[in-house]
Amino acid sequence: MWPFIKSCCWEKTKQKTSSQQANQELAEVLNQLWQLDSNRLRPGTDYIISLQGRAGYVAQGSNYARDRARAPLFTYVNEDKLKSIETYAHFINLLDNYEMSTGVSETVTSEELQENKLFINSLLETDVMKCAHKYLVRMGQSPSDPAQFKRQLYDIWFRLYHRERGGGEDSCGFEHVFVGETKFGQEIMGLHNWVQFYLQEKHGHVDYKGYKARDNKDTPDEDDHVLNLQFSCKGLVKPVGGCFIGVSPEFEVALFTIIFLMSTEKMTSVVVKVDEYKLELVVYRHGRSIGTSFPKLLSSNNRDL
């Protein structure tokens, strides 16, 4: 019996070591993506945010939240710079292609299909996505042929699926994560992207309620590139949503594609340090596509949140 116990213990230790090694490799590649993200905007220069107050508790399903932020989150964004960068320009073109309500079938026109492809093509031109592709090929998760990899990205992010039973194909990963959706007109889902947040806030559709943190000692900085936020969109309150701030579209697509392809589980969650941020990166799977993906800021500059 003893050899069996020793064998079991050895197997567990081996598995733990293997898991730690995989997490170390993942941390290394995600930090490489961070360093390669030359299209990340600079806080205080390319954009300015105003964090204001710490948001309070809101029960899931409630649409009342005390407003701890009288002013918008974004004080300034250099839109000319945004639109001059190819990936951002193609990204912004996609934001008006979707019907926000789940249960309502999406219709993809030939023009929208072309916009999707132009966006993916522009991603593959960046060092960030080239690095992610190289890593995924090495890990046996993606085809080395760029055309086949583009097809894989399309299926992960743009392939339409049923989010609500009984309806048509009403959703896709890109729409949920980057655009945002409403459920039966009663709940806001997704909307984890800073560019969409800024544009919706500018048009009066989003109302920032304050940052989320455990207590007043955990106040985030206005140069932080990851925030936990509370907001309402068209009157529907999101009690808390994690969001990168200032990062490029290619960085987010690359990062969440890697997490998605790491596992076949319904939900994958990894805790990793990227630059100065300790993050929990969460991805939900919907078949061969992303259901949702978002960052949770756990700590920054050694602040435990």
Active site residues: 176, 192, 238
Our CA dihedral for 164, 165, 171, 172, rounded to 10 degrees, sits at 120
End-to-end Cα distance, the chain = 46
Are the CB atoms for 65 and 56 separated by under 8 Å? yes
How many CA within 13 A on the CB side of residue 98?
29
Nearest to 190 by CA among 138, 236, 128: 236
Burial class for 60, CB neighbours closer than 10 Å (0-12, 13-18, 19+): exposed
For residues 254 and 71, give the distance between their C-alpha atoms in angstroms, rounded to a whole number. 32
